[in-house]
Amino acid sequence: MEVVQLGLLVVFSVIVASWAFKMVNWIWLKPMRMKKYLKKQGIGGPSYKLFDGNLKEIVKMKIEATSKPMELSHRIVPRLLPFQYQAVQTYGKMFVSWIGPIPRVNIMEPEMIRDILSNKFGHFAKVRVNPLVGMLAKGVVSYQGEKWVKHRRIINPAFHQEKLKLMLPAFYACCSELVEKWEKLLLSKESCEVDVWPYLQNLTADVISRTAFGSSYEEGRRIFELQTEQAMLVMEASRSIYIPGFRFADLVK
């Protein structure tokens, strides 16, 4: 009996030790090897932080940037991508950042970007996204290989120049209705301040709805509102490290 118990204890200890080594390798040893390898190639970047990488910094800087009023200029990058903007100033147009233990090489050299986007040999794989993000963004953006070729071939005819010309009346109708709404705001006064952001959001949804489904945005408003809510929850999830099975813990969302 004691021999059996000892054997089970040894097996259990081996399993725990193996799991512990894999975890340590995943969250520390492998990132350190990758960091050293990238540094040899001249690619620097912000320091790797245990567990979250640079995720906390990215979220913190984003919150700080959006909490301030926008500048009256075209300098939108410091507001939209404050972490990346600061990293470019410090490390140059090519640097590595960390989303959890996963390195992400940021490239801003036009020639190199063109080579990557025109790659046909599969050397540049697309970033594996959080499975929760995949619930919303599945499609050509995330597909690779034969699956990408198949879906790209399916949607390609929809963006042919002749097909787009047939959509112009729908574009015109959507824009005309938007201008009419703004004109009505001026009927009772000479001037007024308009927050165009929600109007432009609705305009995009209206154009997609009319050209793809033949109905206006107003007719499918509730569906678009639910999709917007889903998108916000998915974006929130994308800022965290994905732990398999953990999505079932937050039952409310």
Nearest to 155 by CA among 199, 147, 90, 51: 147
Tell the burial category of 31 from Cβ atoms under 10 Å away from its Cβ (0-12, 13-18, 19+): buried
Q: Looking at residue 98, what is its pLDDT? A: 93
| pTM score, whole prediction | 0.65
109, HSE (Cβ side, Cα atoms, 13 Å): 9
73-118 residue pLDDT tens: 888 899 989 999 999 999 999 999 998 898 999 998 888 888 877 7
Residue-level pLDDT at 204: 84
Rounded-to-10 torsion of CA 118, 150, 235, 82? 10
Given this model, what pLDDT does residue 251 score? 47
10 Å CB burial of residue 232 (0-12, 13-18, 19+) is: exposed
From 173, 160, 161, select the one nearest 214 (Cα to Cα). Answer: 173
Q: Tell me, what amino acid is at 208?
A: I
Pseudo-torsion of CA 52, 55, 59, 65, nearest 10°? 140
Low-confidence ranges of the chain (pLDDT < 50): 251-252
What percent helix, strand, coil does the chain show, rounded to 5?
65, 5, 30
CA distance 67 to 34: 35
Residue 84 confidence (pLDDT): 93
pLDDT in tens, 128-150: 666 666 666 666 667 777 777 78
Greatest Cα pair distance in the chain: 93
